Amino acid sequence: RKEVEQDPGPFNVPEGATVAFNCTYSNSASQSFFWYRQDCRKEPKLLMSVYSSGNEDGRFTAQLNRASQYISLLIRDSKLSDSATYLCAVSGNNAGNMLTFGGGTRLMVKP
């Protein structure tokens, strides 16, 4: 079993839709969680950090469920510009702040 798993998608949604992705992790000692956005042939860029139960930033909401060991990303009122791959990353209790990344979920927002 991979340490961090994501549904690769693609998720095809119309503009204005609400879409949610899940990311499961296997290490129960994981402390911090992140969502990154990666555009085609570009570097990942930090979207949100999740240190406790959740975080909200505009149309984006991230939630953490420690009991079931998953984090979720909810995008409301999807825009064409939201089309990208979304990576989740998990940090365990390790010196060096090493992140383990999921394979990413691809989102395509259609007009």
Partner 1 sequence: NAGVTQTPKFRVLKTGQSMTLLCAQDMNHEYMYWYRQDPGMGLRLIHYSVGEGTTAKGEVPDGYNVSRLKKQNFLLGLESAAPSQTSVYFCASSYNSRTDPLPYGYTFGSGTRLTVV
Contact residues toward partner 1 (CB under 8 A) are: 31-32, 34, 36, 42-46, 49, 51, 87, 89, 91, 95-104
For residue 86, the minimal CB distance to partner 1 (Å) is: 12
- Choose between 83 and 104: whose C-beta lies nearer to partner 1: 104
Tell me whether residue 97 or residue 111 sits nearer to partner 1 (CB atom).
Answer: 97
Q: CB 91 → partner 1: shortest distance, Å? A: 4
The least distance separating partner 1 from the CB of residue 4, rounded to whole angstroms, comes to 8
Task: Give Cβ neighbours of residue 10 (< 8 Å, ≥ 6 apart).
Answer: 106, 107, 108
Q: How far apart, in Å, do the first and last CA atoms of the chain sit?
A: 37
- What value does the CA radius of gyration of the chain take, rounded to a whole number of Å? 13
How far is the C-alpha of 86 from the C-alpha of 88, rounded, in Å?
Answer: 7
Q: What count of other Cβ atoms lies within 10 Å of the Cβ of residue 19? A: 19
Closer by beta carbon to partner 1, 48 or else 78 = 48
